[in-house]
Structure 1
Amino acid sequence: MFTGIVEETGEVLAVDDQDGGRRLRISTTFEGLEDGQSISVSGACLTVEEFVDGEWFAVFLADETVAKTYLGTVGVGDELNLERAMPADGRFDGHVVQGHVDTTAEVLDIEQVGEGSASEASGTSSSERSEYDGDWFYTFSVPASQDQYIVPKGSITIDGISLTVADLDDDEFTVAIIPETYRLTTLSEKAVGDPVHLEVDVIAKYVESLVDEEAVENVVGK
């Protein structure tokens, strides 16, 4: 289990496409790694196959992972959000994140407000947004398959980042990004039209399952 608190970003150092999936080698400063350890890679829970402590680790993406995520399109030089699994005695600072990507969404709008004069970032390249000088609001599409799980002020995971839904429309939602999140994650590199990984709040899924079971029992009981 993860918390959605990204520890660092890692650069893709090598990509090996092969039958049945692809293998990524990713840079890291993590030490004390172990074979079989779980790491959230931009929200996808992947297993460490090889590593050099404090330098890099390698993971394999099965066909299902390639199909469900955008990791099948990343290349050498791309940055990814990294978080190690939460230890049993660790602090729980985000929300329950499984590392199971539900779907991908699209960045629809990026707006900067706050310090200095407010500015629209929709047509601004990521290189021109390298310095933080205000709050950021990112708007994403709402995939039809997940719209029932996204609620105002509810938790959502975007590229492995624990965030809160600030606003929700029929087919889009907005999150507010604080300076630390902007600085530490790959959101600062995103542009309008880019894909992101979504993992909805698993508690909402459990509630839906319980409600559905209760409805069935009521019908059967009658």
Structure 2
Amino acid sequence: MFTGIVEEIGIVTAIKNGLKSMQLTLESRKILEDIHLGDSIAVNGICLTVVEYSTTTFTVDVMPETVKSTNIQSLQIGHRVNLERAMPSTGRFGGHFVSGHVDGTGVILQKRKVENAVYIDIGISEEMSQYCMLKGSVAIDGISLTIFDVQPTKLTVSLIPHTFNETILGDKKERELVNIETDLLSKYVVNHLNRIQKGSSITMDFLKLNGF
């Protein structure tokens, strides 16, 4: 589990492409202060497992489904990436519940600066938009952000100067892809309601009877 608060920007130092999979080696400093084989690291919001590390880099495997459904295949050597370690039980939820299981990608439609804020319009699918709500949370490339506006195929987020400067969203240009993970709690609620509407045995009375 992650929080969407980026700890560090890493640098891609090596890419090994398989037939449909990948292996990435990333340079970092803070992440390496407390790292172990098998640790989960969010790389641009994608939960990946550490398979090797040194004093300056760590390596993660990327499965075919992840390559297909995220923007990770666009990475090149020298590219910067958002990094976050899994949250310890003693940590703080500075952002929101982020699983690292990306729903898909969105495309940056427009970036505009209004005083000290940067607004970013992102094109998304209608399937993803059903889990988005005004002032709700969404993870964009692993960054916990508040939704400023949402339409059937578009959402808008607002970045404060710190987020703009300390993450890779400041680097992103219009028409570039970003990873989208919609709010975990919204997905649970919507999916449960959909099952109820489709005649599931789980009804509102059932939920009340069982303490929900």
Please report the TM-score for the alignment, with normalisation by the length of structure 2.
Answer: 0.90
The equivalent of 1:21 in structure 2 is 21
TM-superposed deviation, 1:20: 4.3
TM-superposed deviation, 1:151: 1.1
In structure 1, what residue type is equivalent to 2:131? Y
More divergent stretch after superposition (80-89 vs 162-171):
162-171
* 1:55-113 per-position Cα deviation (integer Å, ceiling 9, x unaligned): 11000111111001111121101111000000011111110000000010000000011
The alignment's C-alpha RMSD in Å is 1.7
- In structure 2, the CA distance between the partners of 1:144 and 1:16, relative to structure 1 (3 Å rule), is same
1:105 aligns with 2:106: yes
TM-superposed deviation, 1:217: 3.9
More divergent stretch after superposition (211-220 vs 28-37):
211-220
The equivalent of 1:43 in structure 2 is 45
TM-superposed deviation, 1:209: 2.4
The equivalent of 1:57 in structure 2 is 58
The equivalent of 1:32 in structure 2 is 34
* 1:162-181 per-position Cα deviation (integer Å, ceiling 9, x unaligned): 00100123321111100110
- In structure 2, the CA distance between the partners of 1:113 and 1:200, relative to structure 1 (3 Å rule), is same
Whole-angstrom CA distance in 2 between matches of 1:111 and 1:219: 45
Determine what percentage of the aligned residue pairs are the same residue.
Answer: 38
- In structure 2, the CA distance between the partners of 1:209 and 1:28, relative to structure 1 (3 Å rule), is same
TM-superposed deviation, 1:135: 1.5
Q: Which runs of 5+ in 1 are unaligned?
A: 115-133
1:187 aligns with 2:189: no
In structure 2, what residue type is equivalent to 1:212? N
Q: Which runs of 5+ in 2 are unaligned?
A: 206-212
Question: Secondary structure, in 3 states, of the residue corresponding to 2:187?
Answer: helix
Please, which of 153, 170, 173 is the counterpart of residue 171 of structure 1?
Answer: 153
- In structure 2, the CA distance between the partners of 1:170 and 1:15, relative to structure 1 (3 Å rule), is same
The equivalent of 1:5 in structure 2 is 5
More divergent stretch after superposition (210-219 vs 26-35):
210-219
In structure 2, what residue type is equivalent to 1:14? A
* 1:133-158 per-position Cα deviation (integer Å, ceiling 9, x unaligned): x3111110021221211111111000
Whole-angstrom CA distance in 1 between matches of 2:45 and 2:153: 22
Indicate conservation of the 8 Å contact 2:148/2:158, yes or no.
yes
In structure 1, what residue type is equivalent to 2:173? A
* 1:4-40 per-position Cα deviation (integer Å, ceiling 9, x unaligned): 0000110100111123411110011121210000000
Whole-angstrom CA distance in 2 between matches of 1:213 and 1:67: 28
1:158 aligns with 2:153: no
Indicate conservation of the 8 Å contact 2:82/2:168, yes or no.
yes
TM-superposed deviation, 1:213: 3.4
In structure 1, what residue type is equivalent to 2:107? E
* 1:161-201 per-position Cα deviation (integer Å, ceiling 9, x unaligned): 00010012332111110011011100010000000000000
Question: Secondary structure, in 3 states, of the residue corresponding to 2:118?
Answer: strand
